[in-house]
Structure 1
Amino acid sequence: MQRDEFILCELLYQFADDNFILAYRGSEWLGLAPHIEEDVAFSSINQDMMGHAVMYYSLLEEIGAGNMDDLSHSRKPQNFRNAILLELKNGSGHYLENPDYDWAFTVARNFLFSVFKQVRLEALTQSSYEPLKQTAVKILSEHYYHFMHWETWFMQLMSSTKEARERMEQAVLRCWKEFAGVISIGMYSAEMNKRKLICSEADLRKAWLDKMENVFQKLKFKIEEPPGMESGNGRNGEHTDDLTEALKVLNEVYGGDKEAVSW
Structure 2
Amino acid sequence: MKVANAKQAQEDQDYHRVLCEFLFQLADDELTLGHRDSEWLGLSPDIEGDVAFSSIAQDEVGHAVFYFDLLHELGEKNPDQLAFARPLTERRNATLLERENGDFAYSIVRHYLYDVFDSCRLEAIEQSSYQPLAQGAIKIRREEYYHRLHMSAYLNRLGQAGGEAKKRLEKAIHDIWPEIGGLFCWGEYENKLFEYGIISISVKELQERWIMQVKSTLLKAGLPWPGDWPKVKRDGRKGEHSPDLAKLLSTMSEVYQSDPSARW
When normalised by structure 1's length, the TM-score is 0.92
Please state whether the residue corresponding to 2:179 is helix, strand or coil.
coil
Q: Is the 8 A contact 1:83 1:233 kept in 2?
A: yes
In the alignment, structure 1 residue 156 sits paired with structure 2 residue 167: no
**8 Å contact from structure 1 (residues 181, 228) kept in 2:** no
How many positions carry a matched residue from both structures? 252
Contact 2:120–2:209, Cα closer than 8 Å, also in 1: yes
* Preserved contact between residue 178 and residue 227 of structure 1 (Cα < 8 Å): no
Q: Which amino acid aligns with 1:153?
A: Y
CA distance in 2, matches of 1:260, 1:14: 27
Shift of residue 229 of structure 1?
Answer: 4.6
> Which position in structure 1 is the counterpart of 2:70?
59
In the other structure, the counterpart of 1:76 is: 87
- Structure 2's unaligned 5+ residue stretches are 1-9
The letter for the 2-side match of 1:126 is Q
Query: What percentage of residue pairs aligned between the two structures are identical?
Result: 41
Deviations 1:112-139 (A, max 9, x none): 1111111111111111111110110010
Alpha-carbon distance between aligned partners in 2 of 1:148 and 1:66, rounded to the nearest angstrom: 35
Q: CA deviation at 1:200?
A: 1.4
**Which amino acid in structure 1 is aligned with residue 63 of structure 2?**
H
How far off is 1:140 after superposition?
1.1
Taking the aligned partners of 1:253 and 1:64, their CA distance within structure 2 comes to 25
The TM-score, its normalising length taken from structure 2, stands at 0.91
Contact 1:58 / 1:68 at 8 angstroms: preserved in 2? yes
Report the AA paired with residue 21 of structure 1: T
Partner of 2:119: 118
- 2 CA distance for matches of 1:159 and 1:183? 29
SS of residue in 1 equivalent to 2:144:
helix
The answer to whether 1:133 aligns with 2:134 is: yes
**In 2, Cα distance between the equivalents of 1:183 and 1:149?**
23
DSSP 3-state at the match of 2:217 = helix
Which residue of structure 1 lines up, in the alignment, with residue 211 of structure 2? 209
Deviation track 1:87-120 (CA, whole Å, cap 9, x = no partner) reads: 00011xxxxxxxxxx1110000001111111111
* Counterpart Cα distance in 2 of 1:238 and 1:35: 35
- Say if 2:32 is the partner of 1:31: no
Q: For residue 242 of structure 1, what is the aligned residue in structure 2?
A: 244
Aligned residue for 2:161, secondary structure, equals coil
Choose from 17, 24, 42 the match for 1:13: 24
Structure 1 unaligned runs (5+)?
A: 92-101
Q: Aligned-residue CA RMSD in angstroms?
A: 1.4
2:59 matched to 1:48?
yes
The corresponding residue for 1:184 is 185
Q: Which amino acid aligns with 1:22?
A: L
Which moved further from structure 2: 2-11 or 251-260? Answer: 251-260
Q: Which residue of 2 aligns with 1:98?
A: none
3-state DSSP of counterpart to 1:197: coil
2:253 aligned partner: 251
Question: Which of 226-235 and 123-132 deviates more?
Answer: 226-235
